Amino acid sequence: MTNRTAFVTGASRGIGRACALELARNGARVVLAARQREKLEEVASAVRAFGAEAMVVEIDLASPESIAQAFASAQQFAPVHILVNNAAITRDNLALRMKPADWDAVIQTNLTGSFLCIQQVLQGMMRERWGRIVNISSVVAESGNPGQANYVASKAGLIGLTKSLAQEMASRNITVNAIAPGFIETDMTAVLKDDFKNEMLKRVPLKRMGTPDDIASAVAFLAGDGASYITGHVLDVNGGLYM
């Protein structure tokens, strides 16, 4: 990935942070994007410790204007060759009780925001005739999950978006793939009760939660030259939770 630039959304923590660090280890420059600049600066310091270049940009995926500004700043740093759409939010509730605002917020951030990020990089990738887009979906996009109709719909939408764009962009040597993480140790799962975690682990054949590094390794693979003949694929990284 030497001389490649990766743009990672939700890079301030969890899976996004791990992805940024792994891409840096593999020689990429990294643009770190999220809402909290202070946390991004901490990640940037860790990236630079590998000897890699890092840039911090604030981004709000619910705002088309914020997305455009973030990518405009990034393009001044370097052309974006690799895009990792990782940032996401949840607003869980049963469908009967879900407020329209909570549906809209999740779809806007997780699906529409990711699409708008992709639009920002396509022309540059087409000019270069090289690009890697990796969308972070979820195991629940494939299995469903009660109480998360909005989140599941947004993550399933990412899979459909991945497959459509893969067909549109293949002739320009741009691959578009998705990763569907399973039960991963993140801030999002840290708040779950131990009883629920134990029940979930009973359903995981590998009998452990995944780590952000497990996802980051898969992202680095799909973003590298070794995955040049893989596009439109959904890579399950879930310990066997869903097969």
242 found inside a domain: no
150 found inside a domain: yes
What radius of gyration, in Å, describes the C-alpha atoms of the chain?
17
Which of 7, 71, 103, 151 is flagged as catalytic?
151
pLDDT of residue 16: 98
pLDDT of 168-202, one tens digit each?
999 999 999 999 999 999 877 777 788 888 888 99
Into how many domains does the chain fold?
1
196 found inside a domain: yes
- In the chain, the amino acid numbered 204 is V
62 found inside a domain: yes
177 found inside a domain: yes
- Distance, CA of 226 to chain centre: 20
CATH of the domain at 28: 3.40.50.720
pLDDT of residue 2: 85
Mean pLDDT (10-residue bins), the chain, 243 residues: 94 97 97 97 96 97 98 96 97 98 98 98 97 98 97 98 98 98 87 84 95 98 97 98 95
Which domain range does residue 231 map to? 5-237
Query: CB of 86 within 8 A of CB of 8?
Result: yes
Burial (CB < 10 A; 0-12, 13-18, 19+), residue 127, is: exposed
242 annotated active-site: no
